[in-house]
Amino acid sequence: MHMAYARRSNIKLTSLNNEDINMGTVTLSSKFQVVIPRDIREKLNLILGQKIVVIEKDGVLHLIPQKPMKEMRSFAKNINTQDLRVEEDRF
């Protein structure tokens, strides 16, 4: 049986605006499952059974934890919506 596992080769990077970036390598299991590394799960406060939205764009997978609606209240307050979407994405 093949198991998905997170390798210990997690890398911490710092972006140009001093944000911490966590990066790790995971292995796809025979059931096409991956294990999110523990340090990333803890940083994002992920819980067992939580839904995660999977988006593919230009060959890159984005995993976005779904939050309860109560936590989403006012999340977009004062957001700048100009240039929010790529023009070619519009219908």
- Closest listed residue to residue 65, CA positions, set 33, 36, 22: 36
Helix or strand or coil: residue 32? coil
Residue 91 lies in a domain: no
Residue-wise pLDDT for 2-24, tens only, equals 444 444 455 555 556 666 777 77
pTM: 0.55
The enclosing domain of 38 has a CATH number of 2.10.260
Residue 70 lies in a domain: yes
Cβ atoms of 4 and 30 closer than 8 Å: no
Cβ atoms of 32 and 61 closer than 8 Å: no
- Closest listed residue to residue 11, CA positions, set 35, 33, 40, 34: 40
Residue 18 lies in a domain: yes
- The tally of domains found in the chain comes to 1
Cβ atoms of 57 and 39 closer than 8 Å: no
Residue 85 lies in a domain: no
The domain of 42 spans 11-75
Residue-wise pLDDT for 47-65, tens only, equals 999 999 999 988 988 899 9
